[in-house]
Amino acid sequence: MENSTNQNNSQKGKSFGERMKSAPRAKWVKFIVMTIFTIAFVIWTGYLGVLIIIPLFFDSYILKYIPWGFWKSSGNLAFRKVMEWADAIGFALVAVYVINTFFFQNYQIPSSSLEKSLLVGDFLFVSKMSYGTRSPMTPLSFPLAQHTLPILDCKSYLDKPQVKYQRFAGFGSIERGNIVVFNFPAGDTVALNQQAVDFYSLSKMNPRGSYGVHNDKAQYGEIVYRPVDRRENYVKRCMGLPGETIQVKDDEVYINGKKVADPENMQLNYYVQTDGTPISETVFSDLGISKDDYATLNQAGEQVPYYFDPMQEMQNANPLLARSMADDLKYKADSLHLTQLGFIAKGKNFGIVYTLPLTKKMVADLKAKPFVLKVFKQQERVEKRNITEDKQIDFPFYYPIAYSTGWTRDAYGPLWIPKKGATITFDKDVDYKVAAYERVIKNYEGNEFAYRDGKVYINGKQADSYTFKMDYYFMMGDNRHNSADSRSWGFVPEDHIVGQPLFVWLSLDKDKGWLNGKIRWNRIFTSAKKK
């Protein structure tokens, strides 16, 4: 501090030329380095206004006309200490903002949708330059806060100004199989009391649609719009690229009619029936199955093994079966139902049946256990439910939710993925095309959209076709039966892409204590770009 202050003092009264000559060589080196970095940044981003900081660097390092460190010579010790902290915090915030915005970002895996590839509790080092850094679209925001300030529980950003989407040059582009971090596409509108479900799904389930969601503050809370870069961050694997047609048949993904390889750790939900022997914690640990996958809480708040309840399964399949039936009839109905599902009975004993997400290797390992009677894949039941007297929906429903496709998680599509410059026509299958691409045209590409009497109107004019302005991607989780992904909420626009996770820099097991294996040391600094 004293050296900097002394240098300022030594420059007082000197002419411009004298200040230039007396500046130490080390200061010149620092100035040149910062200037080169600034010019390179301007060339990369096109932000010409950033050049204004070069004269400031020149004065700070060389000329010393502006008393940058005036507080360092103050005789008030308390004032100097406060300014020291303010200076350090200010520099740190600026540095964090620049790094977090343009270069790298931290991301924590919150759910099991990529389980076995990436685990809950993994902290990822995300490169924003891998696919090209996105310009800050909401530039006035608090560093490290996505959309809400902690404690204060308010917006971490100002709604204005909003900057037009732009992506700078990167090291590559998204390829099939890449794990990608992106902003949640359907998170443009959020009900604050029910943020786990996107607004469009809430509107579909409400008998009064979006009007009912907007006007029920007690249930849904405030309905807020979030700019693109202030929406929740998601991470999934890209399985479909712009211009491709994706389809899922019998658990396998097909692109343009050709089967593509599954991710190494892709898993599906299975029933595992034992002879009554519980599967031990050790077995689950060896298989890499977390407690969230097979455990629940009882009424006392204690964690207990989650096992299959035959009667509950029967009632879920047909709630009318168990009404006003004698116990023996209930059992007979239950036995018949379980047999039809594929379970094995030993007398009146069906043993214990677990429902677990398993990879192909895990299935083979469990089948080899002597107490395991049967392992087979769960089949999804898509039921029609009345939400009003005249409105029925498929539940669970899949994108496009406004059109009855009959698709399921294992039998989905074919669905064409929009590509920049590609054109769709509204000459046939108009109902389907509106359901599949209205959100793209209206919400993502900023057009007015209306569909009346079988005709499409874009920006107030009847449209026979539409040409897409951006590329879009189809994202899926490796934990296929437990993943909310593009099958649920549709395409990911290119302006929502945040970056590519490079490696796991920390991994914490929430089921274990700090002295009992909480840190997964074997995962630290492992690749997050797994196929």
Closest CA to 230 of 356, 109, 355, 138: 138
- Going from N- to C-terminal start, the domains of the chain cover 2-73, 268-377
When comparing pLDDT for 191 and 506, which is higher?
A: 506
44-82 per-position pLDDT tens digit = 988 898 999 999 999 888 888 888 878 877 888 888 889
Q: Does 382 have pLDDT greater than 50?
A: yes
Which uninterrupted H or E stretch holds 424?
strand 423-425
Mean pLDDT in the chain? 82
Task: Look at residue 496 in the predicted model and tell me its pLDDT.
Answer: 95
Contact 425, 464 (CB under 8 A): yes
Task: Look at residue 475 in the predicted model and tell me its pLDDT.
Answer: 96
Share of the chain above pLDDT 70, in %: 83
Q: Does 187 have pLDDT greater than 50?
A: yes
Confidence tier at 117 by pLDDT (50, 70, 90): confident
Task: Look at residue 223 in the predicted model and tell me its pLDDT.
Answer: 85
- Indicate the length of the chain as a whole number: 531
Lowest average pLDDT, out of 88-97, 188-197, 233-242, goes to 188-197
Q: Does 324 have pLDDT greater than 60?
A: no
CA atoms within 13 A on the CB side of 333: 19
Chain centroid to CA 485: how far?
A: 9
Task: Look at residue 240 in the predicted model and tell me its pLDDT.
Answer: 96
In three-state secondary structure terms, 312 is: helix
Extract the tokens encoding 52.
Answer: 């204004």
440-479 per-position pLDDT tens digit = 999 999 999 999 988 999 999 999 999 999 999 999 999 9
- Tracing tokens 């996770």 back to the chain, one arrives at 501
SS3 labels along 129-177: CCCCCECCCCCCECCCCCCEECCCCEECECCCCCCCCCECCCCCCCCCC
158-182 per-position pLDDT tens digit = 888 888 999 999 999 999 999 999 9
What are the residues whose beta carbons fall under 8 Å from the beta carbon of 376, sequence distance 6 or more? 270, 271, 342
137-161 per-position pLDDT tens digit = 988 888 778 888 888 878 888 888 8
